[in-house]
Amino acid sequence: MTDSSTSEIVGRQENVTRILDAAERLFRHFGYSKTTVADIAKELGMSTANIYRFFASKVEIHQAICTRILDGSYQLALQTAELPLSASERLRRYALDQHRLTVETMMDEEKVHEMVIVAIERDWHVIDKHIDRLNEVLARVIADGIKAGEFTEQDAGVASKCFGASIVTLCHPQLVVQCLSKENRARPEELVDFAIKALKA
């Protein structure tokens, strides 16, 4: 690869990053629905046409930002999975950390919450990819638990999907909103303990 080609790739990535940073600032401040591509261009002091050189649409920009936001959740899951703790404790921390992250995003950054909700409602591939990656992390932890004798012999891949589905009310933004104010719902700790016991049954 020539120096000029390398420089062109770096320059393109820098522009992509600048556009995403500006778009995320505006989405966080005004909300996704109220921000236009023209607003993003104005924020950067460039033409709308120049934005379209890097992203085909506002939807594509949104997808890229959601990927960055969800990556924070994934990195947190990875850190928890690598802790020198029992598989049960790692699963407990994983679930409660994901719940805490969802609540903090919802309560403290409502515009970020809106971005994720839009992605979920449109069933974008970024959400499916995120779920697949989390299931892979859970499967590794559950496999550790099976090997150590904490959990009964079972398919770790299937178990990871079932565990994730059983705690969905702790991590799905819309369900978290509905459950936070309901007194007839299981507390997060109770739900997590129940899901872990199922792996041991």
Residue 108, Ramachandran bin (φ over 0: left; ψ between -120 and 50: alpha; else beta): alpha
Give pTM, 2 decimals.
Answer: 0.79
Query: Residue 130 pLDDT more than 80?
Result: yes
Task: Look at residue 26 in the predicted model and tell me its pLDDT.
Answer: 92
Query: Residue 140 pLDDT more than 70?
Result: yes
Residue 65 or 192, more confident: 192
Residue 5 or 119, more confident: 119
Q: Give me the chain's average pLDDT, please.
A: 87
Task: Look at residue 108 in the predicted model and tell me its pLDDT.
Answer: 56
Question: Could you give all domains of the chain from N- to C-terminal order, each with its CATH number?
Answer: 1-55 (1.10.10.60), 59-200 (1.10.357.10)
pLDDT in tens, 165-190: 999 988 877 777 677 767 787 889 99
Confidence at 106, pLDDT banded by 50, 70, 90: low
Task: Look at residue 27 in the predicted model and tell me its pLDDT.
Answer: 87
Task: Look at residue 21 in the predicted model and tell me its pLDDT.
Answer: 94
Residue 151 or 112, more confident: 151
Residue range 89-106: mean pLDDT, rounded: 90
Least confident of 37-46, 89-98, 163-172: 163-172
Confidence at 22, pLDDT banded by 50, 70, 90: very high
pLDDT in tens, 67-81: 887 888 999 999 999
